[in-house]
Structure 1
Amino acid sequence: MTGHTILTCALTGNLTRPDQTPHLPITPAQIIDAALEAAEAGAAIVHIHVRDPETGAPSSELGLYRQVVEALRRENPALILNLTTGPGARFVPSEKDPRVAGEGTTLTHPEARVAHVVALKPDICTLDLNTMNSGAQVVINTPGHVRRMAALIRAAGVLPEIELFDSGDIALMHDLLADGTLQGPVLCSFVMGVRYGFQPLPESVLYARGRLPHDAQFTAIGTGRSAFPMVAQSYLAGGHVRVGLEDGVYLSRGILAPGNAALVLKARRIVEDLGGTLASAEQARIDLRLPRLEPELKSSEMPGET
């Protein structure tokens, strides 16, 4: 681990519903504003999903991602952008024939799941290794699909953040490192609190940490009521931290967070009260071996033709 604690803010996610909180950013403009506010509060990385501006439903529309990414690169070029590739793995068997996809299935080709990453080349994108029960549904990430996605991510020059939901995912990660699909040092996240995966306990964090390569960096992510306890646990275990309306909508018991920035400020206070210091986006780029981006010129700043 580095000596700096990197805070990621997961702005909207795929599963948080608008009816759970009126403060969930939906439109590109809302997501952009939420990202900039989170950065001002102390986030070095923003983790980005996009949503249909009309319905609030999760979306994989390239044009929506392009609006968000281009605006953030223009407004805050130091901010590290992390795009999801998680959507597109969910399978719901139909009642009549479980071999046939039922309503709610999103399972699609690996190439489609990373098309926005290939096109926009963010700093980081997630790469989920889990095949698991998720509520009454199933998430499927076969080793073959993961390898196809990883190859495209690498060709795009993007750093994958390896999402680990249970111990078997760590075993798969080691196989992917051994065969060259992934290259170290790896950046990992332990997703804690999904019902049938890692449970949000100190023992879970320490076990997962102990199974990583020696040069890996990690974040323990808590979902729901475990979001802030996992901020403290991840920091104490030598990891980075993450919060955001994707992970939990409450600032404290019974009190909805007014936005992502409020969650970042509370996480920042936890880290600082424990003796830590958050990395700036510039420092996080150094620690993660990411290139420094030059700011894009605004239209009013473009040089004239000669």
Structure 2
Amino acid sequence: MSRPVIITAALTGGADSAGASRFIPVTPEQIASEALAARAAGAAIVHIHVRDPKTGKPARDIALYRDVVARIRAAKSDVLINLTTGSGARYVPNDEDPSRVGPGTTMATPEDRVAHVLELKPDICSLDVATMNFGRHAFVNVPDHLERMATMIREAGVKPELEVFDLGHAWLAKHMAERGFFAGTPWFQLCTGIPWGAPADTRAMIALLDVLPKGALWSGFGISRQQFPMVAQAVILGGHVRVGLEDNLYLSKGELAPGNAPLVTRAVTIIEALGSSVASPAEARSILGLNA
């Protein structure tokens, strides 16, 4: 039976990846332009990080978020805005004294990590329910910090997208939901293929689903070459999907995606080929229980 499937476009990401593709949006103008192009291609939600316009490196400057959001809203777009709160959780130990932080650490307080959400009040913001090895560094989100962030997000009237990268994260998010930290039906994002979380395969996605609360809303994605296979897998299993340059730079082997819109277009093709329809922003709002 056909059903509307929400596409989220993750536009630029928080990794130091701008040098890997000339198509990675860097400036607020470029990121906003990518958001509008992704919406035109079929995305109902755009997931937004910001970057230093001069260096292309990841940033957490509230003025940059303010600029991006203002540009999208000025365009009168109906796309749902999803701001990250993931920045501020990277821990790199000092080699000589692991009890001290080393170069590359970005740890910030929960209040700092959600300041842009409280000011700008997007439709959605991410909440990374995860402490894990993340590539060569650690990604640290302890329960007390998550609870403080979740409380501030709920009081701001923003819906959290609960990012889970492995089984324990899903279990913790479910526990937080049972304790009333999230208003309405929880919205989960199953993140697969990120070293060193759950692998991007069918068994891992099903295992994550088995932990989620009954009736939970969920989306899923895989990174790199697993982006499109996991789009298909999420649709088949009854979920929603995410694509974008944050997670994958290529349309095919050796062919860089010239923006987020072509990745969204490929997701549209997969969704429709599997007999479902692409959710409009209005349908996404209804599915997620957001006010119009």
TM-score range, shorter chain: over 0.9
Whether 2:193 is the aligned partner of 1:193: answer yes
Separation (CA, whole Å) in 2 of partners of 1:92 and 1:213: 33
Q: How far, CA to CA, are the matches of 1:184 and 1:165 in structure 2?
A: 22
Aligned sequence identity (%): 47
Deviations 1:144-185 (A, max 9, x none): 000000011011100000000100011111221222222441
| Counterpart in the other structure of 1:235 | 235
The answer as to 2:54 corresponding to 1:54 is: yes
Q: Secondary structure at the match of 1:248?
A: coil
Moved over 2 A (4+): none
Instruction: Please say if residues 29 and 71 of structure 2, whose CA atoms lie closer than 8 Å, have aligned partners that are also in contact.
Output: no
Preserved CA contact (<8 Å) 2:185 2:288: no
The answer (yes or no) to whether the contact 2:227–2:243 under 8 Å persists in 1 is: yes
Aligned to 2:20: 20
Partners of 2:175 and 2:241 in 1: CA distance = 26
For residues 281 and 184 of structure 1, what CA distance do their matches in structure 2 show?
Answer: 18
- For 2:210, the equivalent position in structure 1 comes to 210
Unaligned runs of 5+ in 1: 293-306
In the alignment, structure 1 residue 85 sits paired with structure 2 residue 85: yes
Deviation per CA, 1:211-257, whole angstroms, max 9, x where unpaired? 21222111111111111111000011100011000000000111100
Q: 1:131 — aligned with what?
A: 131
Unaligned runs of 5+ in 2: none
The 8 Å contact of residues 123 and 158 in structure 1, kept in 2 or not, is answered as: yes
- The TM-score normalised by the length of structure 1 is 0.93
Which residue is equivalent to 1:43? 43
Q: Whole-Å Cα distance in 2 between the matches of residues 141 and 195 of structure 1?
A: 17
Instruction: Give the Cα–Cα distance (whole angstroms) in 1 for the partners of residues 16 and 39 of structure 2.
Output: 21
CA contact (8 A) 2:36 2:77 kept: no
Instruction: Tell me if structure 2 keeps the 8 A contact 1:27–1:53.
Output: yes
Aligned to 2:288: 288
CA distance in 2: counterparts of 1:218 and 1:262, whole angstroms: 23
* Aligned residue identity for 1:31: I
Contact 2:16–2:58, Cα closer than 8 Å, also in 1: no
Partner-residue secondary structure (3-state), 2:277: coil
**Which amino acid is the alignment partner of residue 234 of structure 1?**
A
Instruction: Tell me, yes or no, if the aligned pair for 1:16 and 1:246 is still in contact at 8 Å.
Output: no
CA deviation profile, 1:245-288 (whole Å, cap 9, x unmatched): 00000001111001100100011111111111101111111111
Matched, 1:31 2:43: no
Return the letter of the residue paired with 2:288.
Answer: L
How many angstroms does 1:67 deviate by?
Answer: 1.0
CA distance in 2, matches of 1:255, 1:78: 31
**C-alpha distance in structure 1 between counterparts of 2:138 and 2:270, whole Å:** 34
Distance (whole Å) between structure 2 residues aligned to residue 218 and residue 12 of structure 1: 21
- Report whether the alignment pairs 1:155 with 2:162: no
* Greater Cα offset, 69-78 or 149-158: 69-78
Root-mean-square deviation (Å): 1.1
Shift of 1:16: 5.1
Tell me which residue corresponds to 1:121. Answer: 121
- Which residue type is aligned with residue 92 of structure 1? V
CA contact (8 A) 1:92 1:103 kept: yes
User: Matches of 2:110 and 2:31 in 1, distance apart?
Assistant: 25
Query: For the Cα contact (< 8 Å) 1:12–1:25, is it kept in 2?
Result: yes
Whole-angstrom distance in 2 between the partners of 1:214 and 1:3? 19
**Match of 2:53, as an amino acid?**
P
Structure-2 separation of matches of 1:64 and 1:206: 37
CA–CA distance in structure 2, aligned partners of residues 200 and 89 of structure 1 = 23
- The aligned counterpart of 2:67 is 67
Q: Which has the larger radius of gyration?
A: 1
Q: Distance in 2 between matches of 1:35 and 1:123?
A: 14
Please show how residues 102-113 of structure 1 align to structure 2 within 5 Å. Answer: 102-113=102-113
What is the rounded CA distance, in whole Å, between the counterparts of 2:16 and 2:201 in structure 1?
Answer: 23
Equivalent in the alignment of 1:165: 165
What's the TM-score once normalised by structure 2's chain length? Answer: 0.97
Counterpart amino acid of residue 30 in structure 1: Q
Matched with 1:251 is: 251
Q: Kindly provide the amino acid, as one letter, of the partner of residue 179 in structure 1.
A: R
Aligned to 1:301: none
Contact 1:177 1:184 in 2 (8 A): no
1:179-202 Cα distance to aligned partner (Å, 9 max, x none)? 222244110011000121110111
